[in-house]
Structure 1
Amino acid sequence: MVAPTKHSSLSASSAGKWIYCPPTLWMEEGLPDFTSEYAQEGTDAHRLAELKISLATKKITKRKYNAEVKKLKENSKFYSQVMEEYTQSHADLVIEDYNSLKKSAIFTEQKVDYGQWAPGGWGTSDAIIVNDDTLSIWDLKYGKGVKVRADHNIQLMLYALGAYYTFGPMYDFSTVRMTINQPRIGNLSTFEMSLGELLDWGDTVVKPAADQALNGDGDWDFNRPETWTFYKAAGFDRHLAEKNLEIRKYKFKEANALTSQEVADILDQAPQIRKWLDKVELYALTQILDEGKEIPGYKVVAGRSRRVISDQVAAAQVLENSGFKDIYTDPTLKNITSLEKEVGKKKFEELLGDLLYKPEGKPTVVEDSDKRPALNKLQQAQNDFKNFDDTKEEEK
């Protein structure tokens, strides 16, 4: 194997993988990062929180703050009054902590380098407060899907190691406090440990795991959710497949019916297996569409699609001008099904027909027997290129 070209692959956010299942680092080498709208929403929220903390600590002027917030509003489709309120509540908590620590300094969006324990490893901490007694790490989680706890949180502990590397020579702190705030689900979680415990963890856990990960060594251990939940190779990793297919151990030779304990064991595995199957399906989809490969017995088709109103503001104006008032589910228009019931199917089509469209359905993997036509992006791209080439030839 060729060694990873970027040691920053030993990132804090993916540490659950390379610490508990080191070989995953090699499997992910060269694979694209996962991206989503939720990630951009989180980025915008972090930026807004940073500005609020910087304003409160007089690191920026009110004029600079207003200019930066205006820029954020103009470029973000996620900015809202709700985001303002959640980030303000987070900033207030950070400032309260800062004021409680005497003679402390505060740093926002601070790059931290923990390369002493994991070569090339670094990250960006949302807020760090430090004095001669305490190192306090704050992490804003703007998502609301999964509750994240601070207790022995690997990402924050790596940030703490990096903060110690940067600020240890200047401050004589002995307590490390790490806080995760998820304001949208009311989760505020704090964990404390001594500096000695943190450094011991860095030497006995992080260093050996980083060495194994960079050298392709270590055990394949997918027992912890953090090792595979955001694993970029989950759709084709044989070791993960073997883990999820352990359910085949039930040979059912002793009786025709499952025992209550066997049912419980299977149900315990169900959530992980469902998520793994989703990742396998996504891998199959990308192999067919993007790589032009065949998966025997399967094809990709356009999934089912629902009608969409292209311009909700214009639609609302049309309905209001026609005398319909009960058309909102605060703060947006009701869905199309509800509006049809309110307006009447025929009248609805008459008023809004020009504003309705049905986008192409999301690509989905189905069996070959499905009657829907197959999609093939690679073939379509090749055909488009050929048609373009033929046109250029005719022009000659």
Structure 2
Amino acid sequence: MSGKKHSLLSASGAHRWLACPPSAKLELQFPDTTSEAASEGTLVHDLAELKLKHHFFTNDLPRSKFTREVNKLKKKPLWQDEMMRHTDTYLDYVNTAAMAFEHDPSKGIEKRVYFGAYTLADQEDENEGYGTADCILIGGETLQVIDFKYGKGVPVSAEGNPQLALYALGAYEMYKMLYPIERVKLSIVQPRLSDGASEWDTTISELLAWGEYVKRQAALALEGEGEYHPGEQQCRFCRARAQCRARAEENVRLAFQVGKKPPLITTDEAGQYLLQGEDVAKWLKDLQEWALSECLAGREVPGWKAVEGRGSREWTDMETAFEVLQQAGINRAVLYEEKPLTLAQVEKVVGKKDFEDAVGAYVVKNPGKPTLVKESDKREAIKNKITAVEAFKEEKDHE
């Protein structure tokens, strides 16, 4: 379950080293760190694994053992009760996907696959060329790879997803002698988002053709060669992102490019600038964080210094302090305020189904304010032609 290792050319980092091959070796100069979100993700993946194994392989994981294992997870510091609900959504998706096969498919849960033939790894090295797929279903001519994502910030698309595609290549190599695989389906279940599932179909011939591209990029990455190609996606989690010269120079170019042009930009140019500038603000933030760490370590960053930010105050003993104030004549009502929980908080306390049954009739969903997103976003575009002033006035009227 836990403790998964990551290789130089890992599947999870494929979106980075495929686009920017030399970044794979450049990252080796920086320590690999983890975060609370990553630890939370590991915990909920362990729970998801237990649920799938109990559902599909009940003899191997009967109810009593399943309950004991889940209770162990509930004692972990990062445990949240909502994890049960979100992993149920994942289980329902996998179960529905399995039932869609003409015959009961073969099921691999947390299945270790080897795709090193495409990343040019040494098969004897247990840390290279391997990955663990959350769920693999195979039946007839169809191979389906399902990935469980617990993040709620950024939607992850299954379309052309390199991590899942590498897992699919590994699964194909493992099972191609047993199944006449022709169709490949990639699925991502992200239950903490409203549109929590993404699916993409391709053919095995297209997947294998992509595998040849992977081989060429892997050869460059293993030698630290090829062109640096900074961008919002590949730089987001790169450990070298703050100090990478290619990223710095590209963002400076994007932010300060000059030339003789008309005084007003066009909508075509606006769209282009928005796409080009996505990484600029993130790069500046990464640069500031790194420069601050250097100052705090006693190293000089010309033109900058670390100072103590705005402090905050807090009670050492709030209850005693309030008692003193009340004894001094301050009315209790002045010190405490009563306010209702928000709608979302009430729904969480009551439970989504009970909430809907009891008070759903008293809830109305107001339209959100207009938001600019990429064309690839699945939400329907606003078709009616209204001005920004009119749009934001409508939103204010609903407040």
TM-score normalised by structure 2 residue count: 0.72
Residue 151 of structure 2 aligns with an amino acid whose one-letter code is: G
Does residue 212 of structure 1 match 2:220? yes
Matches within 5 A, 1:177-188: 177-185=185-193, 186-188=195-197
Residue 236 of structure 1 aligns with an amino acid whose one-letter code is: Q
Give yes or no for contact 1:113–1:163 (8 Å, CA) kept in 2: yes
Q: Deviations over 1:281-314 (max 9, x none)?
A: 1221232334x32111212234334456789999
The structure 1 residue matched to 2:303, chosen from 297, 308, 315, is 297
Residue 191 of structure 2 aligns with an amino acid whose one-letter code is: P
* 1:127 to partner: Cα distance: 0.7
Give yes or no for contact 2:98–2:104 (8 Å, CA) kept in 1: no
* 1:258 to partner: Cα distance: 5.4
Distance 2:192 2:303 in 1: 44
Identity in percent: 36
* 1:157 to partner: Cα distance: 0.2
Does residue 243 of structure 1 match 2:250? yes
Residue 300 of structure 1 aligns with an amino acid whose one-letter code is: A
Give yes or no for contact 2:158–2:200 (8 Å, CA) kept in 1: yes
Cα RMSD after superposing both structures: 3.0
Residue 105 of structure 1 aligns with an amino acid whose one-letter code is: S
Corresponding residue SS for 1:176? strand
Aligned twin of 1:227: 234
Give yes or no for contact 1:44–1:79 (8 Å, CA) kept in 2: no
The structure 2 residue matched to 1:202, chosen from 208, 211, 215, is 211
Q: Deviations over 1:57-77 (max 9, x none)?
A: 124111111011100000142
- Which runs of 5 or more residues in structure 2 are unaligned? 122-127, 322-331, 346-399
Residue 121 of structure 1 aligns with an amino acid whose one-letter code is: G
Distance 1:214 1:33 in 2: 18
Residue 69 of structure 1 aligns with an amino acid whose one-letter code is: V
Does residue 131 of structure 1 match 2:132? no
- Which runs of 5 or more residues in structure 1 are unaligned? 1-5, 316-321, 333-396
* 1:260 to partner: Cα distance: 4.8
Aligned twin of 1:24: 23
Distance 1:309 1:146 in 2: 37
Distance 1:131 1:66 in 2: 30
Distance 1:50 1:67 in 2: 14
Distance 2:274 2:181 in 1: 47
Q: Deviations over 1:106-163 (max 9, x none)?
A: 1111111110111122211111111232111111111111111111111100111111
Distance 1:164 1:308 in 2: 58
Give yes or no for contact 2:142–2:182 (8 Å, CA) kept in 1: yes
Distance 1:263 1:178 in 2: 34
Q: In structure 2, do the counterparts of structure 1 residues 200 and 65 end up closer, same or farther at CA, with 3 Å as the change threshold?
A: same
Does residue 91 of structure 1 match 2:103? no
Matches within 5 A, 1:167-178: 167-178=175-186
Structure (1/2) with the larger strand percentage: 1
